[in-house]
Structure 1
């Protein structure tokens, strides 16, 4: 039985990529595409339901998984609509506040929700192996992180950079909110041993570059992940959607659950 997929923000960069890949996948069915009011023209090309009302679309299609890469405000609405209609949702939106994430976790107790700031397999494998690498190196290595994205990205640092930084902090028993340094300027004195630097670059059409630096005495290690195409994230989201239909509500699922 095919998995029914609904794509929100279907005219956006990620939405367009996801909808196209769903159409090519014989195990999936593109049940509908959604855009904001007044922006649905041209979506007829997908030969599926087109709407500016997600709730209405989901009430006409059962057993759907919504794939959403939009904005925190829209994604919160998507989660609430899924809770009301019984649909599931895979979200790759970044920029959520801690309060919004807490609300998503509560909503996930009653509906199947999946959220990951980065859907790529490579990044999520990196998240798993970084603590082991840091533990093996010991506490004599300073931890820094730099990310680069295209000039149209609205949030900074990226959700992926924040997740990586959280893993770096946790591996040393630190709180990123206390030890994260997101900007350096002026006479700031020596670097503190417990700092975790997170720097942001924006420009051009960079899909997403993240580099973790482990800077030790006499040497350094650089671990870099570069996304060459948005299809990397889209394929991860599609994989998550196919996995999510077999799960039950109860928690806010992440990529770590797929690899568990």
Structure 2
């Protein structure tokens, strides 16, 4: 069965990669590409925008105009746009894969409330490699325990608007859960000045922005005499878009509920 996919946030870097991944996957077809109503891309062929040649799918500025044409929505837009889109998906019983980051606590709570109405898949990162790292981090933290200092480093391109990255935050959540800590209480986002000795239960985050870095993440477990590092480096956004398309195919077969890439990959 072919999964008909719509892409929200199609004008962005990830949107362009998603168009390519969806078009090239033998189990999916690109049913719709959605951008802001004011975008100059409205009416443009999605394939030509994505560098694939003409595929006779016009970019639109209104999800309501195409809601009957797709099976699953993949949304990499903005928090406000995603919340508007998930409301429409819920009304029409359409599963949604969400890759949008930067939600406030209230916005995330609103998003998660739709899990009782439709299959909802939310992930900080759709790369198979990154999700394997999440699993490895959980194992490492439980094995190494409180005897190791833990730090999270991430680097992204100059255009990324949120900091730290959603992936880095998720890594912190995995670590805090494994170590039985409250991330909101122990997270440290940058250091400056005479800060004193490092508290053992701290989970530190360091952020770098510049150039065209797609995404680098490293978690360091440091103790006297040794250091363990778990690193993932992405060289193409296709690592994420291919995973999101894989998630959409999987999600179409699920009942209402909340899922993530750990479920898709069978890593629970």
Same-fold call, TM > 0.5? Answer: yes
Displacement of 1:49 in angstroms is: 4.4
Q: 1:163 aligns with which of 165, 170, 176?
A: 170
Q: 1:144 aligns with which of 126, 151, 159?
A: 151
Gaps of 5+ in 2: 49-54
Q: 2:64 aligns with which of 34, 55, 75?
A: 55
Contact 1:104 1:252 in 2 (8 A): no
Per-residue deviation, residues 121-165 of structure 1 (Å, max 9, x unmatched): 111111112122122223211000110000100100000000001
The SS at the match of 1:32 is: strand
CA distance in 2, matches of 1:221, 1:172: 16
Q: What TM-score do the two structures reach when normalised by structure 2?
A: 0.92
The SS at the match of 2:147 is: coil
Q: Which residue number corresponds to residue 180 of structure 2?
A: 173
Contact 1:5 1:22 in 2 (8 A): yes
Which stretch of the first structure deviates more once superposed, 63-72 or 201-210?
A: 63-72
The SS at the match of 2:84 is: helix
CA distance in 1, matches of 2:78, 2:9: 9
Runs of 4+ in 1 over 3 A off after TM superposition: none
Alignment of 1:74-113 (within 5 A): 74-113=81-120
Q: 1:42 aligns with which of 41, 44, 48?
A: 44
Displacement of 1:12 in angstroms is: 1.3
Q: 2:261 aligns with which of 237, 248, 255?
A: 255
Displacement of 1:68 in angstroms is: 1.0
Which stretch of the first structure deviates more once superposed, 110-119 or 232-241?
A: 110-119
Alignment of 1:106-145 (within 5 A): 106-145=113-152
Q: What TM-score do the two structures reach when normalised by structure 1?
A: 0.95
Displacement of 1:11 in angstroms is: 2.0
The SS at the match of 2:205 is: strand
CA distance in 2, matches of 1:30, 1:177: 40
CA distance in 2, matches of 1:217, 1:153: 35
Contact 2:146 2:201 in 1 (8 A): no
The SS at the match of 1:225 is: strand
Contact 1:49 1:57 in 2 (8 A): no
